[in-house]
Amino acid sequence: MSRAELPVVAATTSPDLVGLQATLHESFGGEARFDRLSRALYSTDASVFQIVPVGVLLPKSEADVVAVVKACAKHRVPLTARGGGTSQAGQCIGAGVVLDCSKYLNRVLEINATERWVRVEPGCVLDELNAELKPFGLQFPLDISTSNRATIGGMVANNSSGTRSVVYGKTIDHVLELTVVLSDGSVVQVGPLSESEWRERCGRRDLEGRSYGVVDRLARQYGDEIERRFPKILRRVGGYNLDCFTDRRARCRWGPG
Ligand SMILES: Cc1cc2nc3c(=O)[nH]c(=O)nc-3n(C[C@H](O)[C@H](O)[C@H](O)COP(=O)(O)OP(=O)(O)OC[C@H]3O[C@@H](n4cnc5c(N)ncnc54)[C@H](O)[C@@H]3O)c2cc1C
């Protein structure tokens, strides 16, 4: 079946587009596209699915991303981030707004060759990162076959790996820290925590603290079941990595401890 024959899934709700655009007009400095052609272009990824978004937003700064998240929350419009669009299961298409980080937020910000780490924007393409790292004799080791399109943001969200993942691991094994915009627009840093730092975060009353608290509670309450039922395989994307947070969490360095 060709893509033209596939059913086009339309938004099931009627988002407040006029309100959304008015809010964005005040706060968003990036590129906003609500025309039919752009919406059609962003209605597919590398999957068989097709969902036409109500609009496409291309942020130029972190402040733009925050503005989009806040505007979508305010007007209750679903938000789907997008990098290279190479997902094979429809992860980066959606009926609300698509947030494309690949056009402007794609820079390598800092390379520390001595400590062997790099700081990038989410839309940075893997091959372009590796081209910048090459003079230092370094590379981001995951060799996914879409490396000339795939972005680091998309790789993080998909926990991408590659043909040599048995040797090099998955994206999560190479991420030191993330700057994340939460659904209320707050910007937080996430990364490995000590037990005391973990407890301190769980005790906070803001959205960040409540998020840690939920994970902590789920891991404690369902620890045995999580241990029993999570597949013991190297490459796994589903399940929010809850198995990193149970008492027997030795497999992952992102859990507390
Ligand atoms: C032919 C082919 C071969 C492939 N080979 C491999 C392979 O060898 N190994 C492998 O692991 N994968 C493979 N993939 C899958 C895919 O290429 C990878 O998962 C890739 O890393 C996705 O990157 P992307 O930038 O295209 O992400 P997208 O597809 O654009 O997005 C992926 C996910 O990330 C989210 N996202 C994107 N940017 C952000 C952001 N800034 N903030 C929060 N969330 C974000 C999206 O919402 C979506 O859920 C392959 C795909 C194809 C089509």
Residue 194's contacts (CB-CB under 8 Å, 6 or more residues apart) are 256, 257
Domain ranges for the chain: 3-100, 108-178, 192-244
Identify the band that residue 47 occupies on the pLDDT scale cut at 50, 70 and 90.
very high
Ligand 1 atom index nearest CA of 143: 8
Residue 98's contacts (CB-CB under 8 Å, 6 or more residues apart) are 42, 53, 55, 56, 57, 80, 81, 82, 92
Express each pLDDT in 187-228 by its tens digit. 999 998 999 999 999 999 999 999 999 999 999 999 999 999
Model confidence, pTM:
0.92
- From 51, 144, 159, give the residue whose CB has the most ligand 1 atoms within 8 Å, as the site to mutate: 144
Helix residue ranges per DSSP H, 34-148: 36-41, 62-75, 126-133
User: Taking the alpha carbons of 33, 39, 43, 46 in that order, is the dihedral positive or negative?
Assistant: negative
Helix or strand run (H / E) with residue 97 = strand 97-100
CATH architecture of 3-100: 2-Layer Sandwich (3.30)
120 pairs with which residues across the strands?
Answer: 108
Express each pLDDT in 63-86 by its tens digit. 999 999 999 999 999 999 999 999
Lowest mean pLDDT among 7-11, 18-22, 77-81, 106-110: 7-11
- The class of domain 108-178 in CATH terms is alpha beta
In which residue are the tokens 């709700």 written? 13
What residue ranges line ligand 1, CB within 6 angstroms? Answer: 45-46, 80-88, 91-92, 101, 122, 144-146, 149-151, 153-155, 157-158, 160-162
d(CA 116, CA 53): 39
